[in-house]
């Protein structure tokens, strides 16, 4: 079967197309060459996602051998957090992650995320081990963030109900978000529903298990807090 020579020689002229063993004779008027082997469809640091064809690439903080890919929106969201991780890298005795979650999720999705993170070598501040039952949500977030590189909030239907019941003080939450240490992880719900109960937290972009698996979300968090062997793309 004849093979098209376009990826090597290109069909930039009518004569080139006529001389191609695969395409010769089929040309009907000049068009600029468009190869299927374009720069956005291959390479070690970029690819196409399976959902919607959105371009993904490695982040600046990705290690040389990393296979974790991010959307442009995720990189924009995580870059300020990463910059603060780097600024705080010389502070001793910090946990990598503070995991804030609803009490009802402690044995399900929160534990799943906690276990995956720890399997990747991430140290996690987790309520089951570190937070007393009945403690103030925001007070524990603030304390946990002070002793962790970043804070993540696992936003689930249970979490939304908890927020509705207790309420979140805009002033306190605004202070936490302004520190660029807080990353919402939306699971089994949406950012739209989060904005309905907490506009401030919902205004912050994050990661979603509706767009990625819990394993991939955890992989991104693990890379985000790792400060050794970082290479720039």
Which residues are tagged catalytic? 172
Calpha distance 45→57 (Å, rounded): 5
Measured CA to CA, the distance from residue 123 to residue 197 in angstroms comes to 30
Q: How many CA atoms lie within 13 A of 53 on its CB side?
A: 2
Instruction: Report, in this order, helix, strand and coil percent for the chain, each rounded to 5.
Output: 40, 15, 45
| Residue 168 burial by Cβ neighbours in a 10 Å radius (0-12, 13-18, 19+) | buried
Non-local CB neighbours of 144 within 8 Å, separated by 6+ positions: 95, 98, 100, 125, 130, 131, 151
């Amino acid at each position: 079967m004849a093979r098209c020579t376009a990826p090597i020689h290109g069909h930039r002229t009518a004569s080139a197309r006529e001389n191609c063993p695969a395409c010769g004779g089929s040309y009907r008027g000049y068009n600029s060459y468009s190869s299927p082997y374009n720069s956005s469809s291959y390479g070690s640091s970029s690819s196409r996602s399976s959902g919607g064809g959105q371009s993904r690439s490695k982040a600046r903080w990705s290690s040389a051998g990393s296979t974790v890919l991010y959307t442009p929106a995720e990189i924009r969201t995580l870059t300020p957090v990463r910059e603060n991780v780097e600024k705080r890298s010389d502070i001793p005795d910090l946990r990598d992650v503070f995991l804030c979650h609803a009490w009802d999720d402690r044995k399900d999705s929160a534990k799943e995320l906690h276990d995956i993170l720890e399997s990747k070598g991430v140290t996690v501040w987790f309520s089951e081990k570190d937070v007393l039952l009945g403690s103030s949500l925001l007070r524990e977030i603030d304390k946990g963030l002070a002793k962790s590189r970043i804070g993540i909030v696992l936003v689930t239907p249970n979490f939304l109900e908890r927020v509705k019941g207790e309420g979140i003080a805009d002033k306190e939450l605004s202070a936490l978000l302004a520190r660029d240490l807080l990353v919402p992880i939306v699971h089994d719900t949406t950012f739209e529903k989060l904005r309905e109960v907490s506009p401030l937290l919902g205004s912050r972009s994050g990661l979603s298990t509706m767009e990625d698996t819990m394993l991939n979300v955890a992989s991104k968090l693990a890379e985000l807090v790792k400060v050794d062997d970082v290479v720039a793309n």
